[in-house]
Amino acid sequence: MPLPPSPAARLLAALDLPTGDAHDLPPSPHRFPDGGQYRVEIPSVEGPRVLAAVIEEARGRDVPIHRVSQGSGIMLLTDAEIGEMCGMCREARLELSLFVGPRAAWDTGASIVSPAGRTLGAQLRGQDQVRHALDDVLRAVALGVRSVLVADMGLLRLLDVAKQAGHLPSTLIIKISVQLAAANPLAVAVLADEGATTINVPTDLSLAHLAAIRQHCDVPLDVYVEVPDGFGGFVRHYEIPALIEAVAPVYVKFGLRNAPDIYPSGLHLEHVAVLMARERVRRAELGLALLQRQTRAATSSDASAAPIMSPVGTADAPGIPVEVA
């Protein structure tokens, strides 16, 4: 006999909130605006030469990619490099998401090297850093960037207020970093309420955790199916079909295990960054091929049940850089 619901479960139900994780993995009714259930993201694209390698590798392997993201920060790219990346992404119809500037881990404070303070590394330490981060965003936007990667709650609020007041483009994508870890439905909803337009969730959430989040939020989620070692090193390719069905709209994100940490990147690491980027595209090829095999096996009698990928470069695709006169 099942136990009666607890007082907390009854209160959550009365508030129309999830009473627990969605272990039954109900199908998500939500979609991207183009009707797609999933898109593909390649992270750690640290400059024009790395981006060129990603585009070349994707074309050679026939791997569709919707978004590339960068982690070293806008501040470590020259205007010419940002302009070149914008032009390449416009041509390839790719969203270009650049990480915002300084962070606590690069500052003079000691809290982030303490066991209790390591999670603060990508957040902004003090209002000076907030101002520097805003300068980073304003510079990138002026150069044509239309998607920025944010790891600080205060900056998230600031960018949303600036968008609403017309100081930033209304189409600017505010992508939440995995380092601003929201690990439950209510925490993710707070980020969405503060203006997040796409949210990278912690790498170790189970499908039941993610499905519960989806029941309470319709903002796209960015989910690593292969995770860098620093965030756990998980390889979850076999979960891709269930992930798409239960968590759509979702960016299926291919990191790389057993690879060096290259942040902050630069010319001294460019060769390594290029090879790692090519391998991430190869991992995407492997993951998408696995998805196709599992889909064929599961939908042999009903092709309409196959998961729907967003077309690459659709007319309303978000975050594609704009031409700057």
- In this structure, are residues 209 and 20 in contact, taking their beta carbons and an 8 Å threshold? no
What is the domain extent for residue 75? 27-304
Q: Is residue 315 domain-resident? A: no
Q: What is the CATH number of the domain that holds 120?
A: 3.20.20.70
Q: Is residue 312 domain-resident? A: no
Q: What is the pLDDT along the chain (325 residues), one digit of tens a residue?
A: 566 789 999 999 999 988 999 999 999 999 999 999 999 999 999 999 999 999 999 999 999 999 999 999 999 999 999 999 999 999 999 999 999 988 767 777 656 665 545 556 678 989 999 999 999 999 999 999 999 999 999 999 999 999 999 999 999 999 999 999 899 999 999 999 999 999 999 999 999 999 999 999 999 999 999 999 989 999 999 999 999 999 999 999 999 999 998 988 999 999 999 999 999 999 999 999 999 999 888 766 666 678 999 999 877 778 999 998 7
Residue 234 half-sphere exposure, CB side, CA atoms within 13 Å?
16
Q: How far apart are CA 278 and CA 263, in angstroms?
A: 17
The pLDDT value given to residue 23: 95
The pLDDT value given to residue 309: 96
Per-residue tokens: 173: 């994508």
Q: What is the DSSP letter of 230?
A: G
Q: Is residue 3 domain-resident? A: no
The structure tokens 């000691």 sit at 110
Q: Is residue 200 domain-resident? A: yes
Q: Is residue 324 domain-resident? A: no
Q: How far apart are CA 280 and CA 273, in angstroms?
A: 10
Provide the residue count of the chain. Answer: 325
| Backbone torsions φ then ψ of 306, nearest 5 degrees | -65, 145
Q: Is residue 16 domain-resident? A: no
Helices 79-92 and 48-61 pack at an angle, to 10 degrees, of: 20
> How many structural domains does the chain have?
1
Q: How far apart are CA 315 and CA 111, in angstroms?
A: 45
| Backbone torsions φ then ψ of 205, nearest 5 degrees | -70, 135
Per-residue tokens: 311: 């077309």
The helix (run of H) or strand (run of E) holding residue 68 is strand 67-69
SS3 readout for 141-174: HHCCCCEEEECCHHHHHHHHHHHHCCCCCCCCEE
Q: How far apart are CA 199 and CA 251, in angstroms?
A: 9
pLDDT digits (tens, 9 = 90+) for 159-188: 999 999 999 999 999 999 999 989 999 999
The helix (run of H) or strand (run of E) holding residue 9 is helix 7-14
Phi-psi region of 209 (alpha: psi -120 to 50; beta: other; left: phi over 0): alpha
Q: Which residues contact 224 (CB under 8 A, 6 or more apart)?
A: 178, 200, 203, 231, 234, 236, 253, 254, 255
Q: Is residue 183 domain-resident? A: yes
Q: What is the DSSP letter of 28?
A: P
Per-residue tokens: 199: 């949210």
pTM attached to this predicted model: 0.93
Q: How far apart are CA 139 and CA 145, in angstroms?
A: 9
Which ranges constitute the DSSP H helices of 27-108?
Answer: 48-61, 79-92
Q: How far apart are CA 129 and CA 301, in angstroms?
A: 56
Q: Is residue 208 domain-resident? A: yes
